């Protein structure tokens, strides 16, 4: 299967829009990567919501050459009764028609095989409700069906419930199944009992690898500049920003005791009320003057802020894929991460440290483990280790667009092979 021959429609369970530009922005990035890789790409993004939040309206936009149909799917609270699948398929039927109408209204792209050519493969993202929408679309078009799971919570629902059974009914027809980290793949294999899942690392836009960094030689020797530890997130409790602040404060005090410039802290993201509480904690820990809180910033400015740092910390309690860990490495930052699925998959010995399992025991254990890991990493940087260009080169091989598009093409070949090798049952 050549990329230029493929027409793929993504069915993510959430997707950015004008009012929520950061909501699933990585799905939009991935769609554009596939497009740059030579594929024809469309998106049908139907978000599951409660019945009273659902709206009948569907919209269709053309965004940088990608047709995006948006809408909502009304769902049963907690899957207490059957009906989610039927509702998703009903909305999917209207969304597919709107997608086809929009495609027909576009000028025929040269060499595309015709603007009205049906998709070859449907790629669902997250089972609820992406797999229901994707299964309907794949049936309608006679296309292959692939799925990538992103949410750790997808394994929380009871295997005896209505929702699990409905999802598994459609999931078993996905010829290609992928997930964003190897430990997560093992969990899904055991949970769904449908065989193996392949791991496809969350990718990074190629232009991130070209973002300039400060000179690295000034990180070494007796007159080395102060190092900066960075964290980027919405600063919710799952990311443990409080423990990160406490650990950096301990590190800064140790730096001062050793006669060095204290390590600095950069926190990117968060709302005003979250930032104020964290700023107060930094003040109490004595690092207010060496800490920077940016608040929410435009997506395209984040890379520049991160690139001016030396170490990235992701102390999440739960993390499935960890796109931000890939972005940090693409910018040349050494990483320190908790032993989540993402941490264990994304961070290798040559690119950083993963904390031991005991670090997740309680808050104090996490602070102690973070402090120790940050001390090791910053000492290694001052000694010439964790070379940014070496980290970036490894990141490009693992997380670059070419690697991602190749992995998706193999997934789509598997999905299309499954549909052609069977009767494509719609039962």
Q: Low-confidence residues of the chain, pLDDT below 50?
A: 110-114, 423-427
- CA–CA dist 85, 99 (Å, integer): 20
The reported pLDDT for the residue numbered 111 is 41
pLDDT of residue 3: 55
pLDDT at residue 427, as a whole number = 44
Question: What pTM was estimated for this model as a whole?
Answer: 0.91
Give me the pLDDT at residue 426, please: 44
Q: Where in the chain is the domain with CATH 3.40.50.2000?
A: 3-203+400-421, 206-399
At residue 4, the pLDDT reads 62
Q: What pLDDT does residue 143 have?
A: 98
Summarised one tens digit per residue, pLDDT across range 199-240 is 999 999 999 999 999 877 688 876 789 999 999 999 999 999
pLDDT value for 422 = 53
Please tell me the predicted confidence (pLDDT) of residue 316.
98
Structure confidence by residue, pLDDT tens digits, 18-68: 999 888 999 999 999 999 999 999 999 999 999 889 999 999 999 999 999
Closest CA to 198 of 211, 216, 213, 186: 186
Answer yes or no: are the C-beta atoms of 134 and 147 closer than 8 Å: yes
Considering the domain delimited by 206-399, tell me its CATH architecture.
3-Layer(aba) Sandwich (3.40)
Task: Supply the pLDDT for residue 108.
Answer: 74
Given CATH 3.40.50.150, say whether it is the number of domain 3-203+400-421: no
Q: What is the pLDDT of residue 1?
A: 58
pLDDT given at position 254: 98
- pLDDT in the model for residue 223: 77
- Residues 42 and 419: their CA atoms lie apart, in Å, by 20
Burial of 153 (0-12, 13-18, 19+ CB in 10 A): exposed
How high is the pLDDT of residue 57? 97
Rounded to 5 degrees, φ, ψ at 266 are: -125, 120
């Amino acid at each position: 299967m050549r990329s230029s021959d493929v027409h793929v429609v993504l069915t993510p369970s959430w997707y950015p829009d004008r009012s929520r530009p950061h909501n699933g922005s990585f799905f939009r990035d991935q769609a554009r990567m596939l497009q740059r890789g030579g594929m024809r790409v469309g998106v049908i993004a139907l978000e599951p919501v409660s019945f009273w939040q659902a709206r009948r309206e569907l919209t269709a936009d053309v965004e940088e050459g990608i047709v995006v149909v948006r809408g909502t799917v009304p769902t049963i609270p907690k899957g207490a009764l059957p009906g989610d699948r039927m509702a998703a398929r009903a909305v999917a039927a209207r969304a597919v028609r709107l997608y086809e109408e929009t495609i027909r209204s576009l000028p025929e792209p040269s060499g595309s095989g015709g603007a009205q050519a049906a998709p070859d493969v449907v790629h669902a993202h997250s089972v609820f409700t992406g797999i229901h929408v994707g299964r309907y679309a794949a049936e309608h078009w006679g296309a292959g069906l692939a799925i990538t799971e992103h949410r750790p919570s997808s394994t929380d629902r009871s295997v005896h419930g209505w929702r699990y059974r409905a999802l598994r009914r459609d999931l078993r027809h996905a010829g290609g199944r992928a997930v964003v980290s190897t430990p997560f793949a093992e969990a899904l294999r055991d949970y769904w009992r449908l065989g193996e899942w392949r791991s496809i690392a969350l990718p990074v836009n190629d232009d991130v690898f070209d973002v300039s960094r400060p000179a690295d030689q000034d990180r070494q020797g007796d007159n080395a500049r102060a190092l900066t530890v960075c964290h980027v997130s919405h600063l919710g409790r799952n990311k443990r920003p409080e423990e990160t602040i406490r650990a950096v404060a301990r590190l800064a005090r140790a730096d001062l005791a050793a006669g060095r410039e204290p390590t600095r802290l950069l926190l990117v993201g968060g709302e005003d009320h979250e930032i104020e509480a964290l700023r107060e904690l930094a003040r109490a820990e004595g690092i207010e003057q060496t800490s920077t809180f940016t608040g929410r910033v435009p997506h395209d400015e984040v890379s520049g802020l991160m690139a001016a740092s030396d170490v990235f910390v992701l102390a999440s309690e739960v993390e499935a894929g960890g796109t931000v860990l890939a972005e940090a490495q693409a910018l040349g930052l050494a990483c320190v991460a908790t032993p989540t699925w993402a941490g264990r998959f994304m961070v290798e010995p040559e690119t950083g440290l993963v904390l031991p399992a005991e670090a997740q025991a309680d808050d104090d254990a996490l602070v102690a483990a973070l402090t120790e890991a940050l001390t090791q990493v910053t000492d290694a940087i001052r000694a010439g280790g964790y070379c940014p260009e070496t980290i970036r080169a490894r990141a490009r091989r693992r997380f670059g667009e070419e690697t991602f598009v190749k992995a998706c093409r193999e997934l789509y070949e598997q999905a299309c092979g499954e549909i052609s090798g069977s009767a494509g049952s719609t039962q």
